[in-house]
């Protein structure tokens, strides 16, 4: 027999009016179940920190210390970095600040370069190994993989603890999870327990949304208490959608990056710029234009969903703008988007339970009477719930794809190929993206030979730096070769 809990939820969500309510952006129509979000003073907020985010906070430092601080791990680290052609920009920026690991970073990248050069041979472009590395490099990062494994292990432990929670009081600790890590934990739960977790968490998010909306209505009070000092409710809401320990992405107001963006307003000019990857600059331009459009979009609520971010990285970018009212508006939008996604997941679970029950009844009828099971009706198809994509992430992906196509078009002309040779070239991440899309012929050959030459030059610089430091007996310091290695393999870090 179907679980009565499903029947109650199915009755609640059936009907065209209720179904439409589920897909509205303001997810404030869920009936209250008495779940009170823990919102209060600063000390209470510390107690409500997402436990998975706390694990994530120490993950990067732990990985860097083991990967670049222990010489016995250098070979394994070199292999991992070769498989991903570097780190993501966020972890590349973090590595730049790890001066005490300079020796390990230099030795690892000295080993990475000779491992990488054979992959650039044009005759091997269709080999499985090359295709696997080049096509997966845009989203691959050894440090991110290490963090994801640590988070998954801890989320699994929390899921087992939640499944065996003896009472509702213990289960209310679920409220402390940020949205991203709640979804990770929910995927580890059985369907019946997952349904209760979804309902509980959606009610908790609704309570937070209402508190932030009350702050927005009290505009003077919000302005009088800036985010750095201010309202506990807004801090807690920000923790839920962005997490407490999200590392800041690359700051495109940094002097060097700001100079590069100002010097190269178009790809045609960036292709000859000697200090940065032109595709990194194009993505930086797109990111800056999008962020500048967010305050404008806030004035026109009809188009907010086109601009307002919902991922932790880009919500953090909005926070750094320093506009408390804008932050509260964006956080509210992200919470409402999360609630709408949870509503769809609840509907999918209800539909799946209904289909399972009907199939069981059909099987029982066939076993008893020999009646052929009836064909499924169209309305009985399971609901597919797709994750909501952040508009900021979508814009950057589109900008990167557009820049890749534009780069290949420009390189068809000799003058731009000459300009490309004079410039910085491509970071390894963007080289892989352009190289696999380049048509066979002069452009592909030029890209491969150019990248080999730049890597060979970088390898000589790293070797010379190591020899100099060994001769002088001084430790490896942060200088041009190490920075160039990280920029080449991590983009604008």
pLDDT at 439: 92
Report d(CA 84, CA 103) in Å as an integer: 21
Domain assignment present for residue 137? The answer is no
Q: Which residue has the higher pLDDT, 102 or 8?
A: 102
- How many distinct structural domains can be found in the chain? 1
Domain assignment present for residue 349? The answer is yes
Q: How many residues does the chain have?
A: 493
pLDDT digits (tens, 9 = 90+) for 402-447: 999 999 999 999 999 999 999 999 999 999 999 999 999 999 999 9
**Mean pLDDT, the chain, whole residue set:** 80
Whole-number percent of the chain with pLDDT over 90:
42
In this prediction, residue 236 has a pLDDT band, given cuts at 50, 70 and 90, of confident
pLDDT at 371: 60
Whole-number percent of the chain with pLDDT over 70:
78
The pTM for the full model equals 0.80
Domain assignment present for residue 356? The answer is yes
Please state the three-class secondary structure of 102-137 as a single string: HHHHHHHHHHHHHHHHHHHCHHHCCCHHHHHHHHHH
pLDDT at 140: 92
Domain assignment present for residue 191? The answer is yes
**CB of 293 within 8 A of CB of 300?**
no
- 268 is written with which tokens? 């045609």
Report d(CA 321, CA 273) in Å as an integer: 28
- 126 is written with which tokens? 């269709």
pLDDT at 414: 94
In this prediction, residue 165 has a pLDDT band, given cuts at 50, 70 and 90, of low
The CB density around residue 103, as the number of other CB atoms within 10 Å, is: 18
224: pLDDT strictly greater than 80: no
pLDDT at 252: 41
27: domain range?
1-32+179-242+322-389
Question: Which sign, positive or negative, has the C-alpha torsion 191, 195, 201, 205?
Answer: positive
- 334 is written with which tokens? 């992200």
pLDDT at 493: 55
pLDDT digits (tens, 9 = 90+) for 361-397: 777 777 777 666 555 544 466 667 787 889 999 999 9
pLDDT at 146: 94
pLDDT digits (tens, 9 = 90+) for 335-353: 999 999 999 998 888 888 8
Report the range of poorest mean pLDDT among 35-49, 77-91, 188-202: 35-49
pLDDT digits (tens, 9 = 90+) for 443-465: 999 999 999 999 999 999 999 88
Domain assignment present for residue 256? The answer is no
478: pLDDT strictly greater than 60: no
Report d(CA 134, CA 156) in Å as an integer: 31
Domain assignment present for residue 5? The answer is yes
In this prediction, residue 22 has a pLDDT band, given cuts at 50, 70 and 90, of very low
6: pLDDT strictly greater than 70: no
φ/ψ region of 165 (left if φ > 0, alpha if ψ in -120 to 50, else beta) reads beta
pLDDT at 470: 67
In this prediction, residue 267 has a pLDDT band, given cuts at 50, 70 and 90, of very high
The CB density around residue 56, as the number of other CB atoms within 10 Å, is: 23
Report d(CA 290, CA 297) in Å as an integer: 10
pLDDT at 256: 72
The CB density around residue 80, as the number of other CB atoms within 10 Å, is: 20
Listed in sequence order, the residues at least 6 apart from 249 whose beta carbon sits closer than 8 Å to its beta carbon are: 89, 90, 93, 313, 316, 317
pLDDT at 302: 64
In this prediction, residue 3 has a pLDDT band, given cuts at 50, 70 and 90, of very low
Domain assignment present for residue 21? The answer is yes
In this prediction, residue 260 has a pLDDT band, given cuts at 50, 70 and 90, of confident
pLDDT at 20: 38
249: pLDDT strictly greater than 50: no
CA distances in angstroms from 441 to 200, 271, 344, listed in the order given? 59, 20, 49
pLDDT at 121: 92
Domain assignment present for residue 169? The answer is no
């Amino acid at each position: 027999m179907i679980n009565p809990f499903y029947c109650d939820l199915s009755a609640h969500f059936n009907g065209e009016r209720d179904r439409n309510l589920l897909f509205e952006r303001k997810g404030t129509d869920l009936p209250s179940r008495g779940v009170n979000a823990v919102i209060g003073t600063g000390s209470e907020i510390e107690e409500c920190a997402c436990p998975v985010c706390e694990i994530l906070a120490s993950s990067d430092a732990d990985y860097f210390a083991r990967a670049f601080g222990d010489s016995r791990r250098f070979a394994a680290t070199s292999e991992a970095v070769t498989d991903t052609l570097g780190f993501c920009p966020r972890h590349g920026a973090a590595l730049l600040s790890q001066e005490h690991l300079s020796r390990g970073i230099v030795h690892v990248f000295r080993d990475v370069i000779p491992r990488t050069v054979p992959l650039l041979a044009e005759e091997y472009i269709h080999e499985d190994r090359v295709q696997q590395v080049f096509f997966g490099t845009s989203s691959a990062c050894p440090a991110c993989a290490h963090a994801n494994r640590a988070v998954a292990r801890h989320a699994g432990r929390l899921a087992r603890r939640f499944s065996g929670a003896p009472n509702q009081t213990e289960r209310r600790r679920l409220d402390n999870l940020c949205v991203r890590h709640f979804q990770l934990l929910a995927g580890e739960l059985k369907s019946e327990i997952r349904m209760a977790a979804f309902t509980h968490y959606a009610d908790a998010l609704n309570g937070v949304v209402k508190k932030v909306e009350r702050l927005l209505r009290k505009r003077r009070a919000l302005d009088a208490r800036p985010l750095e000092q201010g309202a506990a409710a807004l801090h807690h809401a920000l923790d839920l959608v962005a997490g407490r320990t999200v590392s800041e992405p690359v700051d495109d107001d940094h002097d060097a990056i700001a100079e590069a963006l100002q010097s190269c307003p178009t790809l045609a000019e960036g292709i000859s710029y000697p200090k940065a990857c032109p595709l990194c600059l194009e993505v930086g331009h797109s990111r800056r234009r999008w962020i500048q459009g967010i305050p404008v979009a806030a004035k026109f609520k009809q188009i907010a969903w086109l601009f307002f971010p919902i991922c932790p990285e880009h919500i953090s970018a909005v926070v750094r703008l320093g506009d408390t009212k804008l932050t509260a508006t964006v956080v509210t939008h992200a919470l409402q988007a999360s609630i709408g996604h949870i509503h769809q997941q609840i509907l999918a679970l209800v539909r799946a339970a209904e289909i399972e029950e009907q199939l069981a009844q059909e099987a029982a009828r066939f076993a008893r009477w020999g009646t052929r099971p009836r064909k499924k009706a169209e309305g009985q198809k399971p609901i597919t719930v797709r994750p909501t994509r952040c508009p900021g992430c979508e814009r950057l992906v589109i900008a990167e794809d557009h820049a890749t196509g534009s780069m290949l078009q420009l390189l068809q002309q000799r003058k731009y190929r000459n300009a490309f040779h004079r410039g910085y070239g491509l970071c390894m991440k963007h080289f892989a993206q352009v190289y696999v899309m380049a048509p066979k012929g002069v452009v592909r050959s030029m890209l491969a030979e150019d990248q080999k030459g730049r890597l060979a030059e970088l390898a000589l610089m790293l070797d010379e730096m190591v020899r100099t430091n060994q001769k002088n007996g001084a430790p490896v310091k942060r200088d041009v070769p190490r920075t160039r290695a990280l920029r080449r393999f991590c983009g604008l870090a």
